[in-house]
Amino acid sequence: MENFRKESDLLGELNVPLDAYYGVQTQRAINNFKISGQLLSSYPDFIKGLAFVKKAAAKTNYELGLLDENLYFKIAEACDEIVDGKYHDQFPVDMIQGGAGTSINMNANEVIANVVLEKLGKNKGEYEFCSPNDHINLSQSTNDAYPTAIKMGLLQMNIGLVEKLEKIIAAFRAKGEEFQDVIKMGRTQLQDAVPMTLGQEFEAYAATLEEDISKLNNNASLFVEVNMGATAIGTGLNAPVGYAVLCAKNLAQITGYPVISAPNLVEATPDTGSYVIYSSAMKRLAVKLSKICNDLRLLSSGPRAGLFEINLPPMQPGSSIMPGKVNPVIPEVVNQVCFKVFGNDLTVTFAAEAGQLQLNVMEPVLSHAIMENINFLCNALDTLREKCVVGITANKEVCLNMVKHSIGIVTALNPYIGYKQSTEIAKEALETGKSVYNLVLEKGILSQEKLDEILDPKNMLKPHNK
């Protein structure tokens, strides 16, 4: 029995697997683009975005009298099934490809057309009854449908990323409360500064990450402006009058996002500014996340010859040669994810800059870089929270002893004895190994009662009057 069916396009005939819902142009993309190994099927939210766009287009074409009712309802039904997760294995094209996304757009057109044909009782490939181009792609071009689908996918993916971020913020905040009474030394430039609590340190991690929720959401909100109805270059050729605004309205109703039609479709078609600014928000998050992981590695360093202020959950043996060694593998892997995010952000920058005239043909690598970053960050946030943050414990006595023996507490004497005399005390303490406390008493600079009050670490955790 023949396992293939023949389909034809501009370049001639090609064998397509008999049971495949995709068609000839998807098959050409499979043959041509063996690049990243990351397929469209790996990004379900992007596939859903394509289905949203094709359903909105079909609804608009039906309402404008270009599509008959039966075909519209069948197309809408097929799109709904794709949104629900069906047929995702039928999107096998590589995310990175030439052609400005034409292969991905045609992949969606062909799958939807063949699903509709099946519903009509026809064979796959009988496109005279439902055509990928004439019906599914009606009043569209890759140049408006593809970027709009990317944006719908990213709006969904951003929701997932923010949810992961909220969870790790809550985990850091919980540790901040747990460690609120653990006195320790703060450090600047890796040198002793002034006392603080471990709780304040962890609450600061929660606070800095919390800022990025609004940045991600605000930047993602730019994706609601779409260029549907622009067709090839923004002039609207082959789209009926009123299509752009009505399609945006239908897309908003279908997705629940406040989608609007771009005010200038010629400008909107090559514009990739929204991708650049959203990518920058992810880079900002990654920078902060990597800094936090660096801190966790430093604070847990040791256990005998490092800071050893906290313990990270032991996850695996740390050496093939050094018995007993356990490494901070979770912060390390998150650091590496952040480096990947930095690199992908640069890819987005180059791809956005490479747009020429009325189209940016580099959107495949641009969209892939952003979506890969979202997936990486989601996985990294969950991993850091589940396998590290929630299990962190404090070495309270180690932290307190460091405060008691630190030269840094001399800063608290500045308002009482002046900077010059404080500097002399600090210098002598370093040279002799004596404590700041004993030197002040030996020199009769302050009474023990006053000194105890000033140098009580708890009195150095917030502003106060002399």
DSSP-assigned letters across all residues of 292-354: HHHHHHHHT--SSSS---EEPPP-SB--SSSTT-B--HHHHHHHHHHHHHHHHHHHHHHHHHT
The residue from 8, 214, 319, 447 that is catalytic is: 319
Residue 82 to residues 47, 58, 91, 112, 374, Cα–Cα distance (Å): 8, 15, 11, 9, 22
Active site residue 139: no
Per the DSSP assignment, residues forming a β-bridge with 7 are 14
| 225-226/260-261 β-pairing | parallel
Q: How far apart (Å, rounded) are the C-alpha atoms in residues 144 and 234?
A: 8
Q: Who's near 335: CB < 8 A, 6+ residues apart? A: 290, 293, 294
The encoded tokens of residue 178 equal: 């747990």
Nearest to 243, CA basis, from 137, 139, 142: 139
How far apart are alpha carbons 316 and 88 in whole angstroms?
Answer: 36
Q: How far apart are CA 332 and CA 449, in angstroms?
A: 47
Please name the amino acid found at residue 419.
Y
Q: Which residues are catalytic?
A: 319
